[in-house]
Structure 1
Amino acid sequence: MGKKVAFCEAGYDSFYGAQQSLYTFLVNVDREKIEPVFVSPGEGEFTKRISEIGIDVEVIRQPEVFNKRGNVLKEKGLSSKIKALTGYFKHVKRYMNYYKKENIETVYCNDIRSILTSGLAARLRGIPVVWYVRVDKRLGIFNWFASNIATRIVTISNNVQNIFPKKLIINANKKFKTIYTGINLEQVDAVSTTSCLREELNVNKDTQLVALIGSIQPRKGQKDFIEAIYEIKKNHLYDAEDVKFLIVGDIVDESQRNYLEELKEMVKKNQMEEMVIFMGRRNDVLSIMKQVNLVVLPSYSEGLPRVVLESFACLCPVVATDVAGTGEIVDDKQNGLLIKPGNIEMLFKSILFMLEDKARTKEMGKNGRKKIEDCFKLESYISNLEELLLSV
């Protein structure tokens, strides 16, 4: 029987980059070394997928106030704050009881919300906590608190460590470790493109396809993408027969609904409905990546964006903002183009360059695939994370 490890993720009803990377690990982990259980504050798409691969899921329901995104301490009124804090400590206590009952030996937290609840419960029980930091968000006191809870801190890229004070990294150097996530190239290569995207979109083989793939939220930069597309339209450089721009993904929760509506209004106002297509949430993302000419990721914050890794695995080049670990994947002008976040002109010109130089774009796609083969193998991700979990 392997070491019993509880894996925790607050985004139980999502299946984007962070959840996909953890799922990949759980599918491939050596269960003779590690016996995984999954502990969740609710039920949804992610917990369903975890159950389907034969891992026990324990649901420890969180108070309703914690289903909101953001800081629950911003609740209005003293009584609401007290109620939220009381619910928080009761929730932590439930995790503590579960860990004791199930003889959990290590707790792995996949996000900030889980380490502040399930991670704290483990620390209070004297159980080692591994925190995998996947996004370069500076959360002030919350990052400080979480870093004190964690026994080991794994960052998804070297640059993500910059969210922590340099003094902390220097003083606790052995606490930090970078482990790149990996891509299963055999799985990517097995993905079929028989469901033709061009037929679905009713476009011919000469129409170029450019996709932004990711959850609909401001930090992903969909608004900048639409503004760059408007520059292309305004200057009469391409029309809807020449290129289609796809926005693939959906909101994570209702707090982003207004943002999605704002994006759709921008497209309508600028008469770009034939040029910009909202695809919604898709289960065939890899197939889409294999059929588009370019993937764009104009994010304001990332960790090590899985969409870039998967695009490269699919021989698709990218235009991406140089944030966090993106520059550790993208070699500028070799397998894609790096731009500054929020710079619409750079985004517009970079997309235009890729559309115009098809031979160079295709070569960049090949270089991207080689980067994955050389630096982001699935086997390295699995073995490195297994080794760390067994060592704490």
Structure 2
Amino acid sequence: MHICLSDGWGGLEMYPSRIIPELVAQGWGVHGLALEGSKVASCMAEAGVEPLTVRSRGRALTSIRRLLAYLRTHDIRLLHCHKSSDLRLAALAATLRPGIKVVFTDHMGVTRPKKDLYHRWAYGRVSRVLSISEATRKRNIKAFPLPASRIQRLYLGIDPHHFAPHLDAAERRALRTSLGIPSGSVTLGVAGRLTPGKGQKVFVEAMVEVIREHPELHAHGVIIGGLSAEEGSREDYVAELQTLVREQGLAEHITFTGFRRDLARLFEILDVVCVPSRNEAFGLTVIEAMAAGKAVIGSASGAIPELIDAHSGRLADPQSAHHWATGMTELAGSVSLRERLGDEARARVSAHFLLSSHVQGLINVYAEVLAE
């Protein structure tokens, strides 16, 4: 059973609905537990699993008998949690029903030690922590009250075919026009929730330098992501970005697309993809853009340096707009360099970050844990 009691929507919340069909295809019986009315619940249903739902995280704990009865009825022997706050429920279930195994994927990257009495109890019921990058695993080893042998790196993965080009030249032109991107411009984009940690402000500041210092490049910025709290963004931060763009006179040079479901297609009209996040636990957008054959600039922090090497992209200091502008100028000015980096990036994803490899690794963990 995959447990995700979150009412938000991001990479963590998307994971269960992405992975459930893959596990079902491999013959696993999969169940879900989610908050009633949440997007996680609806996406689990769309993925083919009608989840057990609860009204709140607190209600999940007080109705533990209902969960235990469900586990018995469906012979569920493994609980896979995706939020650290959900571990209290899984640990309680494992305490009350010995034999239940618990796996926890740390999607966020722990930021403080968790070795107090409560966490020793909760993590003591966890058979395996899955860290989605080596950077995250190192933090987990320091923070969690577990031996290193129970903390395992398992990179996320994607199906690269989803990000292969689908649009013809006329469709690409039409899409660019619909977004107000001038013909002949070099497009540099950033995708993700509009929050300070995702680094869009550094992107805008770097665009200011690129446009003013190198007008011959005809650079145009594209900021992809929802503009409201309901879409996962910080509205005060969105307003700050829009004000910065206006004050710098860049309203005609930077497009805010709002929330989009066609990110794979938007990659087709971008020449350079920037991921200026300050501390990504993995960086799914990075490998998605790489799979699309894009030249990518990522932050030289968090897990992103594990994804990009010198042959497949560029790294930049997430605190330095000038450093970003330097990398953006280099790539915007060379079609051949962008193509070479894009080809290497696509090959790197196929070698290291396939969804099929992730699923097989996950199945291996499940089998090992159930056999212990």
Q: Is the TM value for this pair above 0.5? A: yes
Partner of 1:349: 326
1:164 match: secondary structure: helix
Partner of 2:153: 178
Relative to 1, partners in 2 of residues 1:213 and 1:134: Cα closer, same or farther, differing over 3 Å? same
The whole-number CA distance in structure 1 between the counterparts of 2:50 and 2:161 is 27
2:330 match: secondary structure: helix
Partner of 2:313: 336
Which among 32, 39, 61 is matched to residue 45 of structure 1?
39
Q: CA deviation at 1:301?
A: 1.4
Unaligned runs of 5+ in 2: none
Which among 256, 260, 264 is matched to residue 278 of structure 1?
256
Q: Map 1:204-283 to 2 at 5 A.
A: 204-233=182-211, 235-238=212-215, 242-250=218-226, 251=228, 253=230, 256-283=234-261
Relative to 1, partners in 2 of residues 1:94 and 1:35: Cα closer, same or farther, differing over 3 Å? same
The whole-number CA distance in structure 2 between the counterparts of 1:30 and 1:370 is 28
Q: CA deviation at 1:206?
A: 1.8
CA contact (8 A) 1:322 1:338 kept: yes
The alignment covers a number of residue pairs equal to 356
CA contact (8 A) 2:104 2:126 kept: yes
Relative to 1, partners in 2 of residues 1:340 and 1:148: Cα closer, same or farther, differing over 3 Å? farther
Q: Which string of whole-angstrom CA distances, capped at 9 and with x for unpartnered residues, describes residues 119-140 of structure 1?
A: 3333333422111112234044
Partner of 2:28: 34
Q: Map 1:57-206 to 2 at 5 A.
A: 57-62=51-56, 88=58, 90-95=59-64, 97-103=66-72, 104-116=76-88, 118-125=89-96, 126=98, 127-141=100-114, 145=119, 147-166=123-142, 172-189=147-164, 191-192=166-167, 194=171, 196-206=174-184
Relative to 1, partners in 2 of residues 1:176 and 1:346: Cα closer, same or farther, differing over 3 Å? same
Partner of 1:10: 5
Which among 260, 279, 282 is matched to residue 301 of structure 1?
279
The whole-number CA distance in structure 1 between the counterparts of 2:143 and 2:266 is 44
Q: CA deviation at 1:352?
A: 1.2
Q: CA deviation at 1:384?
A: 1.0
Q: CA deviation at 1:113?
A: 3.1
CA contact (8 A) 1:336 1:364 kept: yes
Relative to 1, partners in 2 of residues 1:191 and 1:23: Cα closer, same or farther, differing over 3 Å? farther
The whole-number CA distance in structure 2 between the counterparts of 1:149 and 1:384 is 21
Relative to 1, partners in 2 of residues 1:188 and 1:215: Cα closer, same or farther, differing over 3 Å? same
Structure 1, 335-344 or 157-166: larger mean CA deviation:
157-166
2:221 match: secondary structure: strand
1:291 match: secondary structure: coil
CA contact (8 A) 1:247 1:276 kept: yes
Q: Residue type of the partner of 1:381?
A: H
Relative to 1, partners in 2 of residues 1:255 and 1:185: Cα closer, same or farther, differing over 3 Å? closer
Q: CA deviation at 1:164?
A: 2.8
Q: Which string of whole-angstrom CA distances, capped at 9 and with x for unpartnered residues, describes residues 176-205 of structure 1?
A: 111111111233337546464212124454
2:268 match: secondary structure: helix
The whole-number CA distance in structure 2 between the counterparts of 1:252 and 1:187 is 28
Q: Residue type of the partner of 2:198?
A: K
The whole-number CA distance in structure 2 between the counterparts of 1:190 and 1:229 is 26
Relative to 1, partners in 2 of residues 1:260 and 1:36: Cα closer, same or farther, differing over 3 Å? same
Partner of 1:71: none
CA contact (8 A) 2:187 2:270 kept: yes
Q: Residue type of the partner of 1:227?
A: E
CA contact (8 A) 2:198 2:275 kept: yes
Q: Residue type of the partner of 1:216?
A: L
CA contact (8 A) 1:13 1:47 kept: no
Partner of 2:16: 22
CA RMSD of aligned residues (A): 2.6
1:59 match: secondary structure: strand
The whole-number CA distance in structure 1 between the counterparts of 2:341 and 2:179 is 25
Partner of 1:84: none
CA contact (8 A) 1:107 1:122 kept: no
The whole-number CA distance in structure 2 between the counterparts of 1:203 and 1:317 is 19
Normalising to structure 1: TM-score of the pair?
0.83
The whole-number CA distance in structure 2 between the counterparts of 1:288 and 1:255 is 19
Q: Which string of whole-angstrom CA distances, capped at 9 and with x for unpartnered residues, describes residues 91-145 of structure 1?
A: 42324531333323111112223334x3333333342211111223404448982
Normalising to structure 2: TM-score of the pair?
0.87
Relative to 1, partners in 2 of residues 1:167 and 1:187: Cα closer, same or farther, differing over 3 Å? closer
Relative to 1, partners in 2 of residues 1:232 and 1:185: Cα closer, same or farther, differing over 3 Å? closer
The whole-number CA distance in structure 2 between the counterparts of 1:199 and 1:387 is 47
Partner of 2:362: 385
2:29 match: secondary structure: strand
Partner of 1:310: 288
Relative to 1, partners in 2 of residues 1:277 and 1:11: Cα closer, same or farther, differing over 3 Å? farther
